[in-house]
Structure 1
Amino acid sequence: MQDAADEPARDEPAAAGAELPPVGEAGAHRRPAAALRLANVMAVIGHAVLAAIALVVLVILRTELAAWIVLAGVLPALALWMVLDLAVLNRWEQRFYSYTVTDDFVYVTSGRFFRTTRTVPTPHILAVETQQGPLQRALDLMTVQLTTIAGQDELGPIAPADAERVRDRVTRVLLERSDG
C-alpha cells in the first residue's frame, strides 16, 4: 500500500478565485517520505544532545544521587521519548501536514494533537524564498519561507521541485498583480 505522502505532487488549478478549503480540512499536497526521515534524524540528534548533557552533569556532580537520577531516570526517559517520537509522534505529524497553493492563498494544516490551520492570502506575501540546510540537502528536501507584513510562515520541508513550483507560482501571482 502506497502512503499518501509518497504521491507525486499535482499542480492545483490556476483559476483565480479558487475556493478556500474548510478550516482543518487536509490540503491538496503532503510532505514527501523524506520529510519523515528528516524528522527522525532531528529527533535522534536532539535526544543524543540531551543525553550527553545529562552525562556531563553526572560527571560534574559525581554523587550517588546524581547517578541514580541520570542513569535510572533521565536516560531511560529520554530513550522512551525518542522511541515514542520515532514510532508515533513524527508519523502523526507527517500524516497531518498538508498544504494547498493557489493564486489566491497558501493554505497549510498541521498538528499532532492540536490542529493548526494557516491561510496566507497571496496578495499579503511580500517575499518568498527557498531554504535548504545540510540535512535537508542530504535528504533532497527544501523549505519555502513566506514573508508577510505580519511575520513569516514556513511551508515544508517538501521536495525541491515542489518548493520551486510554489516559489515560482507565488512570485508570478505577485508580479501579475503588481503589473495589473
Structure 2
Amino acid sequence: MRTIPTDSASRGRAATGARIQEAVVIPQPIAPPTAGEPGAHALPPAALGYEIARSAIAIGAAAVVAAAAVLLLAPEPARPPLLAAVAALAAVGGAVDLLVLDRIRVRSTSWTATEDFVYIASGRLVRRSVLVPVPQVLGVEVAVGPLLRRAGLVRVRFVTIGDGVEISAVTAEQAASIRGTVLGQRGVADA
C-alpha cells in the first residue's frame, strides 16, 4: 500500500521527510500469480488427516467390491489366489496412496483469494491452476461433511457460471475470511 498526502502542506512535509499526520491509503492491486506458481496460502496441517481418511475409505470400498466380484464371478478353485491378489493390490496401492500420494496432494495445493481474483493451484507432476476473476463468482458455498467436521475443516466452493472451483480443506476461520474477501464488495454479510 502507498499513502498519498491529503493537502499541499503535508505534501511539502512528505517531500522534506517530515511526518505525515493525515493520509489516504490507496490499496495496490495484487497481481495474480503466473499459471503453475503456488498460491499465497497452503492447506492447513489437518488437511492431511482428512485426505488420508478419505483415501482409506475409497481404497477399502474398492477392495470390498473387488473381493465381492471375485466371490461371485470366479470359479471355486480360482478364488483363493484371486482374493490374495486383491488383498495384495489393496495393501500396496493403499500404502502408496496413504503414505506418499496424499502427502504430495496436500503439500502441492495452495490458494490465494483477493478482492480481484481467486487462484487455486494443485498437483505435483501435473500442475493444475485455476484463476477466477471475482466478478465471475456468483456465490461462495461452505460445506462440512463428517470427515471434514472430524478434522475441524470445511470445503469452500466458488460458484460460477461455468465449472465451479473449490478449495478442498481449510479451517472455518479461513473460509469466513475467503467468503468475506470475495463477496465483501457486494455487501454480502458473512453467514
Q: Normalization by structure 1: what TM-score?
A: 0.83
Cα offset, 1:16, TM superposition: 5.4
Tell me the distance in 2 between the aligned counterparts of 1:131 and 1:67.
Answer: 43
- Structure 2 residue aligned with 1:109: 121
Is residue 67 of structure 1 aligned with residue 80 of structure 2?
A: yes
Equivalent residue, structure 1, for 2:174: 162
Matched residue, 2:23: none
Distance in 2 between residues matched to 1:111 and 1:25, nearest whole Å: 11
Aligned partner of 1:7 in structure 2 is: none
1:89-131 Cα offsets, whole Å, 9 max, x none, are: 0111111100011110001100142000100100110111111
Counting only pairs closer than 5 Å after superposition, residues 60-139 of structure 1 correspond to structure 2 as 60-61=72-73, 63-71=76-84, 73-139=85-151
Gaps of 5+ in 1: 1-13
Deviation string, structure 1 residues 56-115 (Cα, Å, up to 9, x no partner) = 2233245222332221x2221111011001111011111110001111000110014200
Give the TM-score normalised by the residue count of structure 2: 0.79
Q: Where do 1:143-162 residues align within 5 Å?
A: 143-162=155-174
Contact 2:67 2:86 in 1 (8 A): no
CA distance in 2, matches of 1:128, 1:16: 24
**Size of the alignment, in residue pairs?**
162
Aligned partners of 1:58, 1:16: CA distance in 2, in Å? 62
Residue matched to 2:15: none
- 1:68 counterpart letter in structure 2: P
**From 38, 42, 55, the counterpart of 2:50:** 38
The 4+ residue runs of structure 1 with deviation greater than 3 A are: none
